[in-house]
Amino acid sequence: IIRELGGEVKIEDHTAYIRMKKFKTGKVTLSEAAKIRTSVMFLSPLLTRIGKAIIPNPGGCRIGARPIDRTIKGLEKMGYSASYKSKDGYFYLKKKNNFKKDEIVYRFEKSTHTGTETLIMVAALLKGTKSILENSAAEPEVDELINLLNQMGAKILRTQTRTIVIEGVERLKGTEFTIGPDRNEIVTLAIAAIVTKGDVLIKGAQSVDLSPFIQRLELAGGGVEQKKEGIRFYHKGEFISLDVETSNYPGFMTDWQGPWAILMVQATGEAVIHETVYENRFGYARELKKMGANITLFNPVVKNPEKIYNFNLADNNPSYFHAIRIKGPTKLHNGVVEVSDLRAGATLVLAALSAIGESVIFGVEHLDRGYEKLEEGLISLGANIKRIRE
């Protein structure tokens, strides 16, 4: 997408060199945007540098409607007009004439990770304007973006857990920045080790907040040892069933619930996983049932759904389930399964690793969007995996 827009990108051994001297177009093509959710974030540089943007509905995993209405409302508050044309599936945004405000206060109706990051980047270049984002996302990755932008000359400060204040500047400068560890990859590898009765040291894992996961893992009987160079995860005996409810940071991350389900399949008792962030995120459950898992999908009784659920209730579908009940322990057997989304893919890989026999997983291209050569890392730990290319 950067190259299509006129930028230069060079990637050498996990280092990306990026330069955007001048945009040659203000439109992101549908073919590229459909591949990733973060395509919507190109709204920020397009609007701040050329004053307009034409962007299709973002792509990525189909785990619910995933609307960008919260982002659009914030952009309108910041001086941009937006319209959506259903006939071509594109959003058309442009800067309003003579719009100027000394202070903008925007409160997200519900938390949004991508929306928070997009508005931070726009606000960073609204020179002379102080922007206050309330009820913003508090995830570590958001603070990582803030650190990068401040290093580039932005003036951004998180004044409270969910309040971010941005003093707009005229321009940003180039810089060098090192991205931290991926919380999702760490959890995937940790559970891979534990459900296969293994032992793994993940170097650098201690530099990111995993406390919501580690706390529950230890209660369920998983082995955890904090070391100077990283965190050791290991199998130390029977697992105890433990309920989890996903939520925004600092809660139990929605991306962790699939791998957690594999741990609960091996645990003694009954565990409930309640998903509150996305409305349709149990695509892996039916596939696990094919492999012998005792899983029931259901919708729990919730007294205040508007407060509990982070997704737009209007986008909910009666066919969607927001919770699963797992009874264990169960020995999974081999199966032929289909990946529905990125984290479901990781979940099915973990299931296959812990199952008896040889399993076949279709749709592994989803995995490549969130993990770099996952199978090679697992093979280095002793897994027997072969990727079949057509």
- Any idea which residues carry the catalytic annotation? 61
Q: What is d(CA 54, CA 75) in angstroms, rounded to the nearest whole number?
A: 14
**Rg, C-alpha atoms of the chain:** 22
- Establish how many alpha carbons lie within 13 A of residue 338's alpha carbon, considering only the half-sphere containing its beta carbon: 3
- The gap between the terminal CA atoms of the chain, to the nearest Å, is 27
CA dihedral (344, 189, 368, 284) in degrees, to 10, reads -10
Between 342-354 and 183-195, two packed helices, what is the crossing angle to 10 degrees?
20
- Which residues does residue 226 pair with via DSSP β-bridges, in sequence order? 231
Q: What is d(CA 159, CA 163) in angstroms, rounded to the nearest whole number?
A: 6
**Distance from CA of residue 7 to its chain's centroid?**
25
- Write out the H or E segment, with its range, that includes residue 201: strand 199-203
Q: What is d(CA 88, CA 85) in angstroms, rounded to the nearest whole number?
A: 6
Four-residue CA torsion sign, 346, 350, 356, 358: positive
Residue corresponding to tokens 């973990």: 350
Q: Is the omega angle on the peptide bond into residue 329 within 30 degrees of 0, that is, cis?
A: yes
Cα–Cα separations (whole angstroms), residue 356 to 260, 295, 310, 332, 334: 19, 18, 37, 6, 6
Q: Which residues fall within 8 angstroms of residue 305, CB to CB, at 6 or more apart?
A: 313
Q: What is d(CA 157, CA 161) in angstroms, rounded to the nearest whole number?
A: 11
Q: Locate 266 and state its tokens.
A: 């091996």
β-pair type (90-95, 52-56): antiparallel
DSSP letters spanning 116-136? HHHHHHHHHT-TT-EEEEES-
Q: What is d(CA 374, CA 185) in angstroms, rounded to the nearest whole number?
A: 9
Residue corresponding to tokens 């919730």: 302
Q: Locate 24 and state its tokens.
A: 């040659």
